[in-house]
Amino acid sequence: MVDLSQLLEAFEWAVSFKEIDDIEAHIDTVGEPSMYPQLVDLVKKLSENKNVTTISMQTNGVLLNTKLIDELDNAGLSRINLSIEALDPELAKRISGIDSYNIEKVRKTAEYIAMNTDIDLLIAPVWLPGINDEEIPKLIEFALKIGAGKKWPALGIQKFLSHKNGRKPDVKVMSWEKFYSHLEEWEKKFQTKLILSPQDFGSHVCKALPRMFKRNEKVKVKVIGPGWMKGEKLAIARDRVLTIVDAGNIPVGKEIPVRIARVVDGIYMAR
């Protein structure tokens, strides 16, 4: 878990580097953001940054309640992107992978956000072909009925993409052409925007953080802790954090030579 002061310090450095005054601070993680115990403090501090105009958050909604939602609203949260894959209780449990998943509670949470707060709501289902096809139109109707999308689009339907470290549902990956064709049909039927673009969220190209490493470059790094996946370690060099793979037996504190394997969007992987 990242210390709040460290998180804010890194964020403020990145914002100052961008040299723009319409930053969106997006709270997301490989886990569930609402598990962060200082979430409300994080939102409040982000809202105090004069360059931040929007604060958004991804969540599955399971841990949200009216008290926390009100606190996030008062702290300055602008939008919640809520992941709901199905309104059918049994199917929702099956997709979530846990029997305790309560779609009725999540549904009421969505209604409360949309109807009782200044937080905008975006319903963001992942379309799993052959599994929740019939649920997508129901979710569109639900989002429009409760008043989601006051400022931004009400829905962000996501195409399922297979990931080597993700879950492996029995799904045949749909082509982008077919995916957008269906979205276009639903746009006409429900009279709402479903094919989204960066402009719908005010996203635009700005100054990129400098790349500190080149692919295949050899670098000496210092190992500082365990990584996210088994066998990984985190290391530092040139004031950046790198993920070192195949490093399970390397002790923390050791300096080792590595070769940079991947350099994408400020994320550095090495071996």
What's the pLDDT at 241? 94
What percent of the chain has a predicted confidence (pLDDT) above 70?
A: 98
* pLDDT tens-digit map of 222-243: 999 999 889 999 999 999 999 9
DSSP secondary structure of the chain: ---HHHHHHHHHHHHHHHT-S-EEEEE--SS-GGG-TTHHHHHHHHHT-TTEEEEEEEE-STT--HHHHHHHHHHT--EEEE----SSHHHHHHHHT-TT--HHHHHHHHHHHHHHSS-EEEE--EE-TTTSTTHHHHHHHHHHHHT--SSS-SB--EE----TTS---S-PPPPHHHHHHHHHHHHHHHTS--S--GGGGT----PPPPP---TT-EEEEEEEEE-SSTT-EEEEETTEEEEESS-TTPPTT-EEEEEEEEEETTEEEE-
Residues 30, 227 contacting (CB under 8 angstroms): no
* pLDDT tens-digit map of 1-31: 889 999 999 999 999 999 999 999 999 988 8
The answer to whether residue 168 scores a pLDDT higher than 90 is no
* pLDDT tens-digit map of 23-64: 999 999 888 999 999 999 999 999 999 999 999 999 999 999
Residue 219: strand pairing partners: 258
Confidence of residue 265 (pLDDT cuts 50, 70, 90): confident
The answer to whether residue 261 scores a pLDDT higher than 80 is yes
Average pLDDT of the segment spanning 91-97? 94
Length of the chain, please? 271
Confidence of residue 165 (pLDDT cuts 50, 70, 90): low
The answer to whether residue 220 scores a pLDDT higher than 80 is yes
Report how far apart the first and last C-alpha atoms of the chain are (Å, whole number): 24
Strands 240-244, 233-237: pairing kind: antiparallel
Residues 84, 61 contacting (CB under 8 angstroms): yes
Residues 39, 33 contacting (CB under 8 angstroms): yes
What's the pLDDT at 81? 98
In the three-class reduction of DSSP (H, G, I as helix; E, B as strand; rest coil), residue 105 is classed as helix
What's the pLDDT at 169? 73
Across the chain, mean pLDDT equals: 94
